Structures are given as structure tokens and as C-alpha cells.
Amino acid sequence: MGPHRTYTSTRLDLARAKEARKALGGTLNDVALAVVTGALRRYLGRRGDAVEAMKDFRALVPVDLRPRMGEDGVGNHISLVLVHLPLSSPTPGPRFEPVHRACDT
């Protein structure tokens, strides 16, 4: 890190995210990753990077490995999945589908 790095956060309306999840047929994580992809696209574009040419931008995404039912043990049961983020897609719809497919495998 360096002295010029900053951190910022934003809020995502959970009700709207759930509506998007239902409409698109994915998960809340899929919606969040698609939103992050759009934010990264805007940020990199404003920096002058050629986002349309970025065909292989990836992120490490934590995934829960605990069984859906049963086992109430303590501890972390996570792994990381390398997910392709489609930065070259200019609109949200085309960004969602590849993110959903990558996270669904």
C-alpha cells in the first residue's frame, strides 16, 4: 500500500437487490458482483483505462462451503473462487449473466 490509497464504501438497497435477484434468476452475491463490476468499469474508465479491451479481469471471491442443512459446528468453511468480471460489458444485463455462470459452478 501507499500513502495515496483511499477506501470508500456505499450502500446497496437490499430490497432492490432482492428484486434484481428474482428478476434475473441468480443470487444476492451475483447481483453484488455485477454491481461491483459496473463500479470497477466506471472507475477504470475515468482513469483512462481501455475497459472495452479488458477481456480477462478476475477477482478472488470467497464462497461458503458449509452444508446448507445440518452441521452446526464452529469455524470457517470457506474457499476462494476466481471469477471473471466482464468489464467490457457496458450495461448491467450482459454483466450479470457471466458473473452468475461463474459463481454457479
- Kindly report the pTM of this predicted structure: 0.78
Classify residue 9: in a domain, yes or no.
no
Cell of 80: 476462494
Classify residue 2: in a domain, yes or no.
no
Per-residue pLDDT of 56-96, as tens digits, reads 888 998 887 777 665 666 667 788 888 889 998 888 888 88
Classify residue 3: in a domain, yes or no.
no
> How would you class 96 by CB atoms within 10 Å of its CB: exposed for 0-12, middle for 13-18, buried for 19 or more?
buried
What's the domain count of the chain? 1
Q: What is the mean pLDDT of residues 21-48?
A: 91
For the chain, what is the radius of gyration of the CA atoms?
16
Classify residue 8: in a domain, yes or no.
no
Measuring CA to CA, which residue among 50, 65, 57 is closest to residue 85?
57
Q: Residue 62 is which amino acid?
A: P
Classify residue 1: in a domain, yes or no.
no
The confidence band for 19, taking pLDDT boundaries of 50, 70 and 90, is very high
Its domain, for residue 26, covers 14-104
Cell of 17: 437487490
Task: Give the mean pLDDT of the chain.
Answer: 85
Classify residue 88: in a domain, yes or no.
yes
Range with the poorest average pLDDT among 12-16, 21-25, 43-47, 61-65: 61-65
Classify residue 5: in a domain, yes or no.
no
